[in-house]
Structure 1
Amino acid sequence: MSWVEMKARGLRQEAEGILAVELCMADASPLPFRWEPGAHVDVQTGSGVVRQYSLTNLADEGCVRLAIKHADDSRGGSRWLHQQLRVGDRLRVSAPRNLFPLQPGNGPVLLVAAGIGVTPLLAMYRQCRAQQRPVQLLYFSRSAAHGAFVEQLRDDPAVRLISGLCAADVGAYLDQHLPAWQPDSQLYTCGPDGFMSSVQQLAGERGWPSSALFQEHFQASIVSDSPATELVLARSGKSVTVQAGETLVAAAERAGVSIPTSCGMGMCGACMTGVVSGEVEHRDQYLSDAERASGQWIMPCVSGCAGGRLELNA
């Protein structure tokens, strides 16, 4: 992965537990890359870990803007940024990658966000408004204090800010306000898995085809409780039983084999490992469809085995 050195030009407490970060090139030069809405960057924090954060702004603004939630279970990524990062500090940042692009078209766009899931959708919203494309944003937050960017969005008639609802009331609100599908319409959603599942299920009931539905997970997929698997580490000459709910990386570590990792979320590619034999259950967001179909690669930090035995080149 290639990195550029960037400098924190601005920091702001955007909402309860959410830090807004504005980055520019450390040498004040123009940005060496561009991106489309939905993109994210890898950020290497001062604690050494790498995390992925969506870009909330458009590429023509000449800077990189992020909104970072302080995760309760942070292992040094968001916690370091919230507690240690200061204006003028330097960070290593990757070129943007986009696993959640805004699809081309002129039809209406419905954006449905919950919590920090608003970050990629905010850039999409701004792009649609700039292109005069019909767009509506539904943004759910735990409370008014937890809502990010509300000062910018509050008076916008195309935005609905919904806060303080319990899960049942969120479902009732969606049931009341999620429209039936119209030709050329697209729906994008980002937030907790349960929230996105509810949105997608309700959209399907309203006639939305799967080709018009798009979502992004902003946290690692949960490791499935599949039966125990035999993991063979061909290069090291070792094998180990992977317990239900255990990652392949953790199992390999128990066997004395270290597989390099960085994000731990199947997004950065640091742990990509060759597959010698076995059927992979892919849960990452890094490999392309062609790479997955080849069966040659796996992201062992989140992916697993669909059978009883998996042999890796590790």
Structure 2
Amino acid sequence: MSGGVEIPVRVSRVEQATATVKRFSLEAVSGEPLPLYSAGSHVVVTMAAPDRKIKNPYSLIDRAPDGSTYRIGVLRTRDSRGGSAFMHERVEVGTELSITMPVNLFPIVRTGRKHILVAGGIGVTPIYAMAEELRRQNLPFELHYAMRDAASGAFADELVARHGDKVRLYRDDAQEIIAVDRILWRQPLGTHLYVCGPEGMIDAILAGGREAGWPDENLHSERFMAHVSGEPFSVRLAKAGVTTEVRPDQSLLEAIEEAGVDAPYLCRGGACGQCETAVLEADGELMHHDHFLTEEEHASGKKIMTCVSRLKGRELVLDL
């Protein structure tokens, strides 16, 4: 029900991709090859901080040909007190972590006649893997990558070097924007679009696709929401008979795990629905931050995604 089997890994290389992005190479502590995965997959990385365990999802950029190494890209987020700060400040060559088996919630549709890849910022990590897989399979694609400026475009030079004129870069400081209507114009029937990046960008790209008449099944996106801090509150887990406190800088899911209760999760980013939990009582307002439940489900007050959502109030009672 929870994240499943975890694989002990060791950091074999750390690269400074930009001022705020590091790339980490991970190898199995056992020396065995790491599992195969498809482009768009992510793993949940467990970090042993001094006061708690931190679990964050990271997209897999690529895998060594011999299967010995995974690579992930980690953005140092502003004022981070969680995983990104730990990865940037504490993790070095030789550090041991653990990862889940790869999970793919953002797969390439193999039957697509062409593939349009759109990335913004650190959203380039799954897109990088997709471009590599499409190149290996000799499938038609183009890649559009938006960044704040040249210095912040993680892996941009690598993408251009590997894929040439299939890659188009857009810089905010040069007033360059991705014109969705132009990208989608006259694409062959059966083309699929994939976008990962800031929430506003994803919404704009998908809206442009719908306005251009593209069916929803041809529009794909991945969003990973960091948990949002808030006021502390109490959570009572009815089945387990446990009551615990959720700290301001802690997610509801983290508090449940810290209390020793095994709770379901998969993406830990509010996207997959695996951590959906029934709400039995709520003394306060549910603060929903997921992208899985419908507006009606949010309004009902009967469900919550424990990885990103929380309570603004005194006590929450869950069916766990």
Which whole-Å CA distance do the structure 1 matches of 2:71 and 2:197 have between them? 19
Residue among 142, 152, 167 paired with 1:146: 152
Aligned to 2:165: 157
| Aligned equivalent of 1:100 | 106
Matches within 5 A, 1:178-193: 178-193=184-199
**What letter is aligned with 2:172?**
G
Flag the 1:296–1:11 CA change in 2: closer, same or farther, 3 A.
same
In the aligned structure 1, how far is the partner of 2:106 from the partner of 2:203?
Answer: 17
Gaps of 5+ in 2: 230-234, 244-249, 294-300
Q: Note if 1:51 corresponds to 2:56.
A: yes
CA distance in 2, matches of 1:4, 1:215: 27
Count of matched residue pairs: 288
Shift of 1:102: 1.0
CA distance in 1, matches of 2:87, 2:60: 16
CA distance in 2 between counterparts of 1:162 and 1:72 reads: 23
The answer to whether the 8 A contact 2:18-2:151 is kept is: yes
The 8 Å contact of residues 188 and 215 in structure 1, kept in 2 or not, is answered as yes
CA contact (8 A) 1:277 1:312 kept: yes
Partner SS, residue 49 of structure 1? strand
The two structures, once aligned, show a CA RMSD in angstroms of 4.2
Pairwise CA distance, 1:67 = 0.5
Query: SS of the residue aligned with 1:154?
Result: helix
Q: Offset of 1:74 from its aligned partner?
A: 1.6
Could you tell me which residue of structure 2 aligns to residue 4 of structure 1? 7
Matched residue of 2:104: which SS? Answer: coil
* Structure 1: distance between partners of 2:58 and 2:242: 37
Distance 1:208 1:58, change over 3 A: farther
TM-score, structure 1 length as denominator? 0.75
- Following superposition, the deviation at residue 4 of structure 1 comes to 1.1
From 28, 31, 52, the equivalent of 2:31 is 28
Per-residue deviation, 1:313: 2.0
The Cα offsets for residues 142-182 of structure 1, whole Å up to 9 and x where unpaired, read as: 1101111122123411001112348x8525x4444443453
Query: Which one of the candidate residues 12, 18, 21 is aligned to 2:21?
Result: 18
Number of the residue aligned with 1:244 = none
Matches within 5 A, 1:64-75: 64-75=70-81
Letter in 2 for 1:190: C
| 2:224–2:271 CA contact under 8 A, matched in 1 | no
1:1-314 aligned at under 5 Å gives the runs 1-31=4-34, 33-47=35-49, 48-58=53-63, 60-62=65-67, 63-155=69-161, 156-165=164-173, 169-170=176-177, 173-220=179-226, 234=238, 249=252, 265-266=269-270, 273-275=277-279, 284=290, 298-303=304-309, 312-314=318-320
User: 1:116 aligns to what SS in structure 2?
Assistant: helix
Deviation at 1:84, TM superposition (A): 1.4
Q: Deviations over 1:107-128 (max 9, x none)?
A: 1100010000010011111111
In structure 2, how many angstroms separate the alpha carbons of the residues matched to 1:200 and 1:165?
A: 24
What TM-score, normalized to structure 2? 0.74
Q: Secondary structure at the match of 1:28?
A: coil
CA separation in 2, counterparts of 1:265 and 1:150? Answer: 25
Amino acid at match of 2:193: L
CA distance in 1: counterparts of 2:208 and 2:227, whole angstroms: 22
Give the drift of 1:277.
Answer: 8.5
Contact 1:180 1:207 in 2 (8 A): no
The verdict on how the C-alpha distance between 1:269 and 1:184 changes in structure 2, with shifts beyond 3 A counting, is: closer
Query: In 1, Cα distance between the equivalents of 2:113 and 2:103?
Result: 25
Shift in Å at residue 46 of structure 1? 3.3
Q: Are the aligned partners of 1:142 and 1:165 in contact in 2 as well (CA < 8 Å)? A: yes
Is there any run of 5+ residues in structure 1 with no aligned partner, and where?
224-230, 239-246, 288-294
